A = this chain, B = another copy of it.
């Protein structure tokens, strides 16, 4: 008595997980599948959207629906000490610009509105297709002045940022699940129906000053974020003193 959409999704899911349709293979076209299941194209597309959000199927406009190779998962590592907790990128391209603090950036970095900020736009690639991106915002006095507009090397920028920076005290990450904006969908080349993992990361130094804010967006069909908390005896004691 379930919906058509999920019945079709289950059938295709079985065919994929049992190997009747192999990884990398193309599914029949949407019109063909629609006539096969005797449903409309709209219904069939919503069934494919289910599999897509599970990471089993990847749609490519003008080419077709493909069974995804498994274990090509992007991992965002939480609490990482590095400048950007960017996922294990095979390749990262960066664009550096100067912007004025606006919107939520004012609150995140605790700076006045319209004050100067350096933005590092990081785009992660995997085999020439983008798979995630992040915008890193840094106050001007903590960002190296002589960075070219197009920087080839991520590590270089990271090393320069580290040098200017006082010792870190705390990293706070807030994770939400939502749909991508049209701009984000275009950058990542994903459907706007796919869920994305949005991570807001704020890094604070020992004086309590916010030295960096990073907004990351990762496609939900191939990304996950990992957070590890170690509980030593000292920490446990501390938590009892200062719960939460």
Q: Which residues in A have some Cβ–Cβ distance to B below 8 Å?
A: 2-3, 6, 42, 49-50, 53-54, 77-79, 81, 167-179, 182, 193, 195-198, 218, 220-221, 223-231, 233, 236, 239, 244
Contact = CB atoms under 8 A, between A and B. Distances in A.
A53 B179 contact: yes
A227 B81 contact: no
B178 A195 contact: yes
Contacts of A225: 174-176
A2 B227 CA distance: 37
A227 B172 contact: yes
Nearest to A238: B230
Nearest to A54: B178
A31 to B, nearest CB: 18
Given A2-B182, A170-B230, A224 B176 contact: yes
